[in-house]
Structure 1
Amino acid sequence: MTLFFLVVILEIKKDIVSGHLSSLRRIALSLIGALGGMIVPALTYLLVTYGHPEVARGWAVPVATDAAFTLPLILTLGRHVSSGARAWLMALAIFDDVLGIMVIALFYGSALYWPALTMAAIIIAALILANRAGIRTLWSYGIGGVLLWGTLQESGLHPTLAGVITGLCLPVTTLEKNAKQAAPLDRVSSALTPFVTWIVLPLFGFMNVGVSMAGIQPCMMLDAVPLGIMLGLVIGKPVGVFGATLLSTHLKIATLPAETPTGMLFGLSLLCGIGFTISLFVANRAFFGSDLAVPAKMGIFAGSILSALLGWLWLRFSYQRVRE
């Protein structure tokens, strides 16, 4: 998963430099939507599970949007989603994933071990200095990233944070004498994206999705944990994303993408409730060794499937009728 977040942060960095996030207003629109889409689902979960303090640790399970599943789904909608809206959702999902790993690192790590944390800070400083000094050799950043992963593992912070930090430090340009050679960021992204897409994510799903259906009854979805997660994804996510995005445009902080009316924005906000991969990751951390792990996965499956179905139907049929 460290490699997954490395690829994610590389996509954000490329968009900030020369893509859909090249202006502060565009960044603000996606970032504010992502923040709203984290706060409201967490509050929804805590509200549903109120009176059950033993399950409060799962508040972060419904806060992340799964970019790996959301983005391919909107591509199947074709002309029903504008190019500006696709870019907005892609940026929001990526920001959401990065914020999700920050939550994991800060709230689901172990007690901090300061010597290792100090060494991690030294390695981060070295990576930043390498970037500033114009070092473009990939092995320098590769070694630094591996060492950072090891020190974060010992520090108590979640080691997947190493992927985010290393990606931020990778240079986005190449030296003039090597003008024909791709920049380090592009080379790493091209090399890792297929590996992450076709090996890392399926392997992660295979290792973490398995849930025995023996003895599971539909009424179990009304228990606090699965119900809180499901409602957090199906209701909390779209309310948070849609509400925060509209608020940012009302306050003139940002503007909606071109050819993206509020009806289309609402349908895309529904799709943000697909929290499959990252939600499973958080659930495994929150309920490690607990009997609540299986109910949590039930809520993730139900909420993600409902969100995907509702969002796709809205954008494919309901929104089409409204537009006509």
Structure 2
Amino acid sequence: MATDRTLLASHWSDTSIARLLGPAQEFFHRSASSGIVLIIATVIALGLANTGLAPLYNSVLDTHIRIAIGPYAVDESVLHWINDGLMAIFFFLVGLEIKREIIIGELANLRAAVLPIAAAVGGVLIPATIYILINSGGIGQRGWGVPMATDIAFALGCLALLGSRIPFGLKIFLTAVAIVDDLIAILVIAF
């Protein structure tokens, strides 16, 4: 009986971890299709937002979607669902992948993690310094925290375009740099 429980617990644990990390691993191992979709969607959105179709584009983003379960309901715009819903899922998956890399992967060794952290600090300091130099004394000087953040979705989308020609370690490095960079930028903007 104890052997059956051990096997069950072991199997359950392995499948649970696989189910949890599976989507993140698939995300990083996808072919160029995800990068192509991202670039096409960006071009379409920029085109719609900057042409005579902008009112239609904005009305779609402002359209409300309501989800109700009994007395509980959430009623938000499409833009809100994208920004606060889909992006939260995206960052959750990226965070799971980074956690796995820190625990058992490429970043498990402190020496290996130092380079992405140093690169992220440079990625924060250099854009902020350039921004302050350009806007010194102007009304825009207070916005120095904004250019610090890395657009991780576009960075990973560009890597996805290159597919298997890019080593997995480079994807982990870029993801780690972008996450640390974004965390620093969020802290600076928040405080």
Cα 1:243–1:227 shift into 2, 3 Å: same
Partner residue of 2:74? Answer: none
Does structure 1 retain, via aligned residues, the 8 Å contact 2:48–2:57?
A: no
Aligned equivalent of 1:239, options 121, 129, 132: 129
Are residues 184 and 240 of structure 1, via their aligned partners in 2, closer, same or farther at CA, if it must alter by over 3 Å? same
Q: Contact conserved, 1:229 with 1:296, CA < 8 A, in 2?
A: no
Which residue in the other structure is 2:49 paired with? 167
Match of 1:285 in 2: 158
* Amino acid aligned to 2:103: A
Q: 1:205 aligned to 88, 91, 116, which one?
A: 91
| Distance verdict in 2 for CA 1:280–1:189, change over 3 Å | closer
* Cα distance, 1:170 vs structure 2: 4.0
1:187 lines up with 2:59 in the alignment? yes
**Percent identity over paired residues:** 8
Structure with higher RCO (Cα < 8 A, 6+ apart): 1
Q: How far apart, in 1, do the equivalents of 2:49 and 2:131 lie?
A: 26
Q: Which residue of 1 aligns with 2:182?
A: 304
Question: Which amino acid in structure 2 is aligned with residue 219 of structure 1?
Answer: R
Please name the residue that 2:20 is paired with: none
Q: What's the TM-score once normalised by structure 1's chain length?
A: 0.34
Contiguous gaps of at least 5 residues in structure 2:
1-31, 64-77
Seen in structure 2, the aligned counterparts of structure 1 residues 169 and 284 have a Cα distance that, compared at 3 Å, is: closer
Deviations 1:41-73 (A, max 9, x none): xxxxxxxxxxxxxxxxxxxxxxxxxxxxxxxxx
Contact persistence 1:280–1:297 (CA under 8 A) = no
Q: Deviations over 1:154-178 (max 9, x none)?
A: 9xx9313121112222445xxxxxx
Give the count of matched residue pairs: 131
Q: What's the counterpart of residue 10 of structure 1?
A: none
SS at match of 2:145: helix
* Partner amino acid, structure 1, of 2:121: L
Q: Distance in 2 between matches of 1:295 and 1:164?
A: 29
Q: Name the residue aligned to 2:114.
A: 222
Q: Distance in 2 between matches of 1:170 and 1:207?
A: 36
Counting only pairs closer than 5 Å after superposition, residues 263-274 of structure 1 correspond to structure 2 as: 265=142, 268-274=143-149
| TM-score between both structures, scaled by the size of structure 2 | 0.53
Output one character per residue of 1:156-204: Cα deviation in whole Å (capped at 9) or x when no partner. Answer: x9313121112222445xxxxxxxxxx5354223123123123332233
